Structure 1
């Protein structure tokens, strides 16, 4: 097949959750013999094309029309995507397009192109607004409407978890039969697990995600004094860009410095780091902790599993479909700092349990979340969609 994938970013530039997913999906498709076009926005001033074997990455500078963006956010970008897909389709017919629901970059293509489309439902804008914003503007509502329209217009919807699918069903009034459940997967970068020595080094806790309300950052920070009270030999590394979501609308590092500064010797805020540095943090960590309030799936936990790390997360959204409670991690209630600290201390004090959970996390990754598993399931679905679309067009 000749496949076109649309993303919000593509490594090494602005990957994020959607970009990471598209990277792994594209690599998987190429590995099983398909040609893949990826269209990604770029901060560079000029359009560029990169090709490695059958993977062609189109980096397209975003254009903005302020007067239109005020009422129809993202429509200029959606039109750019449409123009490029139309051009590619003329050069070599595209069999199927996958769009993310986020900010609805597919609305114009879905309206004007006669190509079957799949929409992968990541965390929708309405869910983000419910967690991060008290004031919803007209433009916010228009983004939510565009996402809903794009989902309803798609020939097929994909969700990473059944919980997230139900969230979309409740909001958009979509039939559950229109949604296929395909968990996310990633390329295995850590094929040999190292032995972690807890006797001679501090216990290393890793947080990797944006610092914001949806990621439960405040609950995690407030658990640190409770952890430190019982075990002082800890090192906490916090990776990710910071947002002004802490009390008082300040960034979380400022909140920490002003309210929890006594623990600065055991906590380091690293901000955004490159993949090589991130790999080092994962391989040196003993435990992964991100108590998200909501995740449609939680790719970060799969990344931790890949490195053989047990996770402490929450029951928010689709997370319980990824982490098995008591097997490859622990699930706490949302925004419960005390539960987080208790689970951390439990694993610090029980090296055998920590090791067993780490081994089970790695097993979960290998059996359920390796990228070729995701790619094969998606390929099967694409073929079904293309066949059904052709039958419909010919009828």
Structure 2
């Protein structure tokens, strides 16, 4: 098949740091390995270049005059909306041009930033929308204010989901959330393909900061919806009970409604134990994997999530994980068998669970069970399911 993906972020762009870019790169490489032709249409801050990247055809788009005009008309009060509409129109024009040169079999859009909303109305190509998050709840859990600009984006994303007849999500948690909160009921669940990004490990970061330490690990963005603050508040109870325990945080330090720096927020809560906190900036997978592999326990106390890649990576490396109930972790972890679960947002419950698990006699066995569990997300299973879905969409449209 000839398949196109539109996206606001991809691994070819220097600004990316999110899961959407990593997901698209994994699925693109998987499809390519099976003989399919893959095109990525991506928002760029650099240029409108076209090139090949690891066998994938990349088409960069920059914003045009639509954004400028909307910004002037709105007196710069809806800058995010103007950017989204501009890019959505640029995507439509680009895909139509490429389709006329050689037809695509199918196009996939993300829900985020509604980059497929115009194409869902006008583009004569079979298309699907993959939902990665439901923005209103995501913003609430992230502590972000929802101004008029944000609310318009939310509406555009909802409109794209309503207009699209073929919508899918990676988790049943997100499917239920969409049905309850957005009244979007035509959502199919298709698991995300997963594999470890590299077998070429670089242990330099581990050796410099963590050699000889027993530690629990949090990795990902330092954000409220990831439960960073919940873990920070729970750690003093853990440190007090377990003098051998260190806490390692790997990722991008960000501001929030609680603090201008979440790293400083954690340090303030653990002021008596700052020598047992280790902070490491965002690092590539080659350096991250040895850090994960060296952890005694991985703690991911998200308030909301969607089968997070961090959980899958830790499972694949045989690590026991503490996740949260209601944030999709229960679709991956079974209490005491493949991991551990705690209620969302409860500091004391998290501290108690970490204290219990730290001394658990079967951590290695639970980590190995998690490693077997994650095989359900192997390419041979999930990509086949996705391709079957694509083929069904194409047939439904053809014979409609």
**What is the TM-score normalised by the length of structure 1?**
0.89
How much has 1:189 moved relative to structure 2?
A: 4.4
Unaligned runs of 5+ in 1: 193-199
Establish whether residue 328 from structure 1 lines up as the match of residue 338 from structure 2: yes
- What is the distance in 1 between the residues matched to 2:191 and 2:354? 27
- What is the distance in 2 between the residues matched to 1:30 and 1:161? 24
Establish whether residue 358 from structure 1 lines up as the match of residue 359 from structure 2: no
- What is the distance in 1 between the residues matched to 2:146 and 2:18? 24
Say which of 39, 46, 49 aligns to 1:47: 49
| Offset from partner CA, 1:298-317 (integer Å, 9 cap, x none) | 22211111111111111133
Aligned to 1:157: 167
Residues 164-313 of structure 1 mapped to structure 2, 5 A cutoff: 164-175=174-185, 178-189=186-197, 201-245=212-256, 247=258, 249-313=259-323
| Offset from partner CA, 1:106-160 (integer Å, 9 cap, x none) | 0111122111111111112111222234642111111111111111111311111
Aligned to 2:396: 388
Unaligned runs of 5+ in 2: 201-210
- What is the distance in 2 between the residues matched to 1:12 and 1:327? 39
How much has 1:51 moved relative to structure 2?
A: 4.0
- What is the distance in 1 between the residues matched to 2:102 and 2:247? 51
- What is the distance in 1 between the residues matched to 2:351 and 2:144? 30
Aligned to 2:57: 56
How much has 1:22 moved relative to structure 2?
A: 1.1
Establish whether residue 89 from structure 1 lines up as the match of residue 90 from structure 2: no
Aligned to 1:2: 2
How much has 1:12 moved relative to structure 2?
A: 5.4
Runs of 4+ displaced beyond 6 Å: none
- What is the distance in 2 between the residues matched to 1:239 and 1:287? 14
Establish whether residue 374 from structure 1 lines up as the match of residue 382 from structure 2: yes
How much has 1:190 moved relative to structure 2?
A: 6.9
Establish whether residue 131 from structure 1 lines up as the match of residue 133 from structure 2: no
- What is the distance in 2 between the residues matched to 1:319 and 1:18? 19
The alignment's C-alpha RMSD in Å is: 2.2
Stretch deviating more after TM superposition (116-125 or 254-263): 254-263
Call closer, same or farther: CA 1:292–1:87 in 2, change over 3 Å: same
Call closer, same or farther: CA 1:312–1:110 in 2, change over 3 Å: same
| Offset from partner CA, 1:201-243 (integer Å, 9 cap, x none) | 3322111111111111111011111111111222322112222
How much has 1:362 moved relative to structure 2?
A: 0.4
How much has 1:246 moved relative to structure 2?
A: 5.4
How much has 1:283 moved relative to structure 2?
A: 2.3
- What is the distance in 2 between the residues matched to 1:43 and 1:206? 33
How much has 1:379 moved relative to structure 2?
A: 0.3
Aligned to 1:344: 354
- What is the distance in 2 between the residues matched to 1:239 and 1:43? 27
| Offset from partner CA, 1:327-381 (integer Å, 9 cap, x none) | 211110112222222222323223x411011101100111x11233221110000
Residues 7-156 of structure 1 mapped to structure 2, 5 A cutoff: 7-11=7-11, 13=13, 14-53=16-55, 55-63=56-64, 64-65=67-68, 66-67=71-72, 70-71=77-78, 72-73=81-82, 74-133=84-143, 135-156=145-166
Call closer, same or farther: CA 1:330–1:280 in 2, change over 3 Å: same
Call closer, same or farther: CA 1:370–1:253 in 2, change over 3 Å: same
